[in-house]
Amino acid sequence: MNAKIKNIKTEVLSDNWYTLRKITFDFLQKNGEWQTQSREAYDRGNGAVILLYNNESKTVILTKQFRMPTFVNGNPNGMLIEACAGLLDADNPEDCIRKETQEETGYEIKDVQKIFELYMSPGSVTEILHFFVASYTKDQQINEGGGADEGEEIDVLELDFNKALAMIQTGEIKDAKTVILLQYAFINKLID
């Protein structure tokens, strides 16, 4: 526990889609005085994300789908290019990402490598995101993907790795988890 925090009170502001809580607490400042503060935290659960890469063809698999929060914040059509991802629900991170990969991309992958866990927006969202990479081959594609079984409309994109990296610079890829994974692949020479 953190001795600089006491008198924590939590109020649920919304439990509609996920849970938005207002947390009021006393925080011990450096000058020794206690200050009452409040923050809102959005709890949507933890998630997993994966970058599928093919070193032979020098390609990666990404997805494209409509994201309302981006639409209301300056993305004219709301479409976002991203790495395959999903919420853990009751699954462990590895099982989750295998399932999400098959649902969204149509690829059945066996061997995944967890590279790290990150808080993506720690000022307001509780989510920890588990990051994975996995190589893929064409013979691992068992269906078209697209997430239709989950009520999603997802386009599956197979992109040249260098083109995907360039799309960060052009602003065509603006999703943080995807940028992180593409940069990880570049730095660690997953595709040479």
Mean pLDDT of the chain: 95
Q: What is the mean pLDDT of residues 4-13?
A: 97
Same domain, 133 and 56: yes
pLDDT of residue 1: 84
Question: Do 105 and 176 have their domain in common?
Answer: yes
Q: Is 192 part of any domain?
A: no
Q: From residue 148, how far is each of 75, 82, 102, 142, 179 by CA, in Å?
A: 24, 17, 11, 15, 26
Q: Do residues 84 and 166 share a domain?
A: yes
pLDDT of residue 152: 78
Q: Are 54 and 137 contacting, i.e. CB atoms less than 8 angstroms apart?
A: yes
Residue 122 CA to residue 185 CA, distance in Å, equals 24
Confidence band (pLDDT; 50, 70, 90) for 185? very high
Residue 32 forms part of a structural domain: yes
Task: Tell me the pLDDT band of 157, cut-offs 50, 70 and 90.
Answer: very high
**Confidence category of residue 144, pLDDT binned at 50, 70, 90:** confident
Average pLDDT, integer, range 170-187: 98
Shared domain check, 141 and 68: yes
**Enclosing domain of residue 14:** 5-43
Domain count, the chain: 2
Q: Taking the model in full, what pTM does it have?
A: 0.93
Q: CA–CA separation, 190 vs 39, rounded Å?
A: 40
- 106 with 15, same domain? no
Give yes or no for a contact between 157 and 100, defined as CB atoms under 8 angstroms apart: no
